[in-house]
Amino acid sequence: MFNGQAVSLKPLEDGLVELVLDLQGEAVNKLNTLTMAELDAAVTELEQAETVRGLLISSAKDAFVVGADITEFQQMFSLPEAQLEQLISRSHALYSRIESLPFPTLSAVNGMALGGGCELALSTDFRVLDKTARIGLPEVTLGICPGWGGTVRLSRLIDAGTALQWMMTGKPQKAAVALATGLADQVVDSAELRSAALELLQQAVQGKQDYRAKRAQKQNALEDTTALEAVAEQAGCKLDPNYPAPGTILELVRRHAKLPFEQALAAEVDTFVKLASSDVVKSLVGLFLNDQLLKKKARGLGKQATPVTKSAVLGAGIMGGGVAFQSASTGTPILMKDIRDEALELGIKTASGLLNKQIEKGRLDEAGKQAVLAGITPTLDYDAFGGVDIVVEAVVENPAVKAAVLADVEQKVADNTVLASNTSTISIDQLAKSVSRPENFCGMHFFNPVHLMPLVEVIRGSQTSDATIARTVAYATAMGKTPIVVNDCPGFLVNRILFPYFNAFNRLLLDGVEFERIDRVMEAFGWPMGPAYLADVVGIDTLVHADHVMQEGFPQRMGHDGEVIAEALLGADHLGQKNGKGFYEYGVDENGRRFKKAHETAQQLISNRVKVDVEMSDQEIIDRMMIPLCLEAALCLEEGIVESPAEVDMGLILGLGFPRFRGGALRYIDTLGLQEFADRAESHQSQGPLYQLTPGFRARLAEGRTYY
């Protein structure tokens, strides 16, 4: 009948036809331009066939359809609105043609059916899922709404309030949930999927199942919108204006709930087109593609690596204990060494506490907890270190102590064992002087708390071998982390870019801008916490130490013009959250509620050092804070600290919590426009070297190039 590179039609017995999705050359089915064109051709053939009595849609791969091809989105979304509207309308029309075929249709869903794949399944009359299937509409995570009829069909097929919650969160649903809500007609074991699907389709052909009633249910307007209004009332106060898609989906479904089917679909097309052209979508789609690039690079290095079957960590403190927990919980046994029994006990207690939280959330049982703990072997000696593939040194952030520990452990491991230092600031080349096999040594910078922060910076020293980098990246990936390979420099990637931001913060304080106001402005900009609060979370002592390292490493740029407020706070024994006083005071009130309020001592210390009160708008505060950070990000790219803009921006997103809807520092520059950013930077030239445009930036601006 039809045999393409992604879609084929196969005649079965009794007038049934099977449409098989099998995109050649790909591990999964994606609804790319080729697939949609072939699907259109296959549907045309089905419409013209006179002997077909029923259609089964199935996948030859492990997943049904993972969605549209997101790599095509950037080009597609840059089209003029009228052209994009025509393109989306064609897909709408194709799915409506499937829904209007003159015989019953059924989707046999295995694995993932997401986005356009879910919408394809919704266009058929019946859906049979295997027990492992996940189905849903995650478009909101890219800043858009479902665009191929999903907002209309799902909200009319199942409870509209439930449908709305699914679309506003984007969370894929398990097969059992799909069955309970009415999205799935049956859920069966994987081995029975095909036979069960064919049996149900035969029943529809024979009139034992009313497929026309199924179609009518998806197409009829809603009579009762009470559930929608309830969700709207609950969600209204939780909507984040920086992410417009959830609220837009809410209003879209409320608007089209009582419209005729075709008008409802038209409303969806219009909404999709308007969302797709936004800067938020460019950022979120860009982040998805950046993430795919990082995963591709990690997979490539992983293929070159000797697998890590056993690891070790030196130090059972907060970081070392976190590394031990993460390694064991993801399947790599680990030795946890310290010089004190009480430290080892604390490390095990920390891991146990994290596992207990997973049990409380229903993600783990007691047997699973014990299995993870069995993967952590506490030890006071090096006796078993001869059998480990990688050692993560996580002792105190002191070059002399780290050097001594690294030199010591190197004598106890095999000649090919990788040594990795978990340092946030100390030069890898400096530490490499303490080992006799520097080719086996690199940095492996975890972020705190280890179990929550996804980023790991893998730092290449000047003598680090490719094999060492490959094994360390493979280990980080096996731990469920996102590794980024960084060349050695003070602060590496993330902290190097962060400290110009703190430098700018200090300058604003000396200009008389209250730290509470700066925090409010930067949190409104999208940061999860403002710079004063972030300093308290990091620890004022840690901040000051790292700032000294950055000043020593980049004395011309990162020196301070005036006193350093963090140093004054440290001198007054303000350590931040760790002792309850930093820029803010932390405690518990008489009702047992935690509080955070500006610390009077901090306010006084700052007031005594203000040089001059400067009138300043919120936008000026944002520019003063963001320009140094963005220019340092550009400089890291120019100096080859990382290879691509994607790695710069993903480091900031995953390591610092840079606002996702802004896409990272370099994406932020692109969004503003390089000329606009240059104008803003040049208006603040008097603030010093951190505000000077870099040579690479000037070259891009002159050549009309962007970062992406």
- For range 413-423, the mean pLDDT: 97
- For range 129-146, the mean pLDDT: 97
pLDDT in tens, 304-328: 998 999 999 999 988 999 999 999 9
- Considering the candidates 256, 445, 574, 599, report the single residue annotated as catalytic: 445
pLDDT in tens, 82-96: 999 999 999 999 999
Share of the chain above pLDDT 90, in %: 94
* 600 Rama sector, left if φ>0, alpha if ψ -120 to 50, beta otherwise: alpha
Cα 590 to chain center, whole Å? 39
User: In this predicted structure, what is the pLDDT of residue 221?
Assistant: 94
Structure tokens at 335: 């030795």
Cα 691 to chain center, whole Å? 30
Average pLDDT of the chain is 96
pLDDT at residue 229 is higher than 90:
no
Lowest pLDDT segment from 235-239, 522-526, 637-641, 681-685: 235-239
pLDDT band (50, 70, 90) for residue 661 = very high
pLDDT in tens, 437-452: 999 999 999 999 999 9
User: In this predicted structure, what is the pLDDT of residue 376?
Assistant: 97
Any idea which fold 2-277 has?
Answer: 2-enoyl-CoA Hydratase; Chain A, domain 1 (3.90.226)
Report helix, strand or coil for 485. strand
- For range 8-22, the mean pLDDT: 96
User: In this predicted structure, what is the pLDDT of residue 238?
Assistant: 81
Q: What is the 3-state secondary structure (H, E, C) of 545-581?
A: HHHHHHHHHCHHHHCCCCCCHHHHHHHCCCCEHHHCE
CA dihedral 96, 97, 100, 104 (to 10 degrees): -110
User: In this predicted structure, what is the pLDDT of residue 589?
Assistant: 87
Q: How far apart are CA 251 and CA 155, in angstroms?
A: 13
Q: How far apart are CA 93 and CA 90, in angstroms?
A: 5
Q: What angle do CA 470, 473, 474 make, to 5 degrees?
A: 85
User: In this predicted structure, what is the pLDDT of residue 224?
Assistant: 87
Q: What is the 3-state secondary structure (H, E, C) of 371-440?
A: HHHHCEEEECCCCCHHHCCEEEECCCCCHHHHHHHHHHHHCCCCCCCEEEECCCCCCHHHHHCCCCCHHH
Domain boundaries, the chain: 2-277, 306-488, 495-703
- For range 670-689, the mean pLDDT: 97
User: In this predicted structure, what is the pLDDT of residue 284?
Assistant: 97
pLDDT in tens, 499-511: 999 999 999 999 9
For residues 229 and 518, which has the higher predicted lDDT (pLDDT)?
Answer: 518
The question of whether 445 is a catalytic residue gets the answer: yes
pLDDT band (50, 70, 90) for residue 604 = very high
Backbone angles phi, psi at 497, to 5 degrees: -75, -30
- For range 28-50, the mean pLDDT: 96
For residue 314, give the nearest of 225, 229, 412 by alpha carbon: 412
- For range 661-683, the mean pLDDT: 98
Q: How crowded is residue 231: how many other Cβ atoms within 10 Å of its Cβ? A: 21
pLDDT at residue 10 is higher than 80:
yes
- Residue 93 CB contacts under 8 Å (≥ 6 apart), including other chains: none
Q: How crowded is residue 408: how many other Cβ atoms within 10 Å of its Cβ? A: 12
pLDDT at residue 592 is higher than 90:
no
Check whether domain 495-703 has CATH 1.10.1040.10, yes or no: no
Q: How far apart are CA 253 and CA 265, in angstroms?
A: 11
Any idea which fold 306-488 has?
Answer: Rossmann fold (3.40.50)
**9 bridge partner residues:** 2, 19
pLDDT band (50, 70, 90) for residue 204 = very high
User: Prior bond to 138 cis, omega within 30?
Assistant: no
CA-atom Rg of the chain in angstroms = 29
Instruction: Write the CA distances from 25 to 6, 22, 61, 298, integer angstroms.
Output: 9, 9, 12, 21
Report helix, strand or coil for 442. strand
pLDDT in tens, 159-203: 999 999 999 999 999 999 999 999 999 999 999 999 999 999 999
Confidence (pTM): 0.92
H/E element, 242: none
Bridge-based pairing state of the strands 7-11 and 16-21: antiparallel
The answer to whether 140 and 245 are in contact (CB under 8 A) is: yes
Report helix, strand or coil for 11. strand
pLDDT band (50, 70, 90) for residue 567 = very high
Q: What is the DSSP letter of 102?
A: S
pLDDT in tens, 368-383: 999 999 999 999 999 9
